[in-house]
Amino acid sequence: MSALLERIQRKDSSILLLFNNNMKCRILDFIMPFITYLGSFTFSVTLCVVCFFIPLDIAHSLAIKTASSLIISTVAVRSIKITVNRIRPFLTLENLNTKKIGIDNYSFPSGHTTSAFSIAIIFSLYFPIATPLLVTLACGVGISRMYFGVHYPTDVLVGMILGTICSYTVFLI
């Protein structure tokens, strides 16, 4: 089992280095902080509050479902992070381009990516025509986390899956 985990870790590190080193440019240095913000706690709460106070039944329902998905996914992320204790890549890998951002020490799974997918999927279920844009933005959040050197690809992948599952579950309830 440890040989498999080591192989996954090596592959994860090499994919991360490809994203992190090969994408580096001034334009992305400017854009990525805005994209990563779409998965932040502040953005998520603000979005839910704004939707809640829009005087339409669909907006109120959307706010409740989005908040529910975010709460469930956040509890899941926190539980997994303290159980797995995977150290962030910028703390263990050399030659990463990093941007110092306020984060905890653990990377698995990506909370920003989970939140972005929780939001994108719920909104997509309400507004299917917006799905390509919403999922693209959510993927951008995951890519931004690798761009900053704070998450491995598997952290992002699990965040995508977790956010999606939570949103579908909440939507169907």
Residue pLDDT, tens place only, 156-168: 999 999 999 999 9
Summarize pLDDT for 105-146 with one digit per residue, the tens.
788 899 999 999 999 999 999 999 999 999 999 999 999 988
Let me know if residue 47 belongs to a domain: no
3-state secondary structure at position 58: helix
- Which CATH number do you get for residue 100? 1.20.144.10
Asked if residue 124 is part of any domain, the answer here is: yes
* Model pLDDT for residues 147-156, shown as the tens digit of each residue: 888 888 999 9
Domain coverage including residue 83 = 55-173
Backbone angles phi, psi at 47, to 5 degrees: -60, -45
Domain total of the chain: 1
Residue 17 covered by a domain: no
Whether 59 is in a domain gets the answer yes
Would you say 113 and 80 are in contact if contact means Cβ atoms under 8 Å apart?
Answer: no
Domain-located, residue 28: no
Domain membership of residue 15 (yes or no) is: no
Q: How far apart are CA 42 and CA 39, in angstroms?
A: 9
For residue 135, give the nearest of 145, 122, 148, 154 by alpha carbon.
122
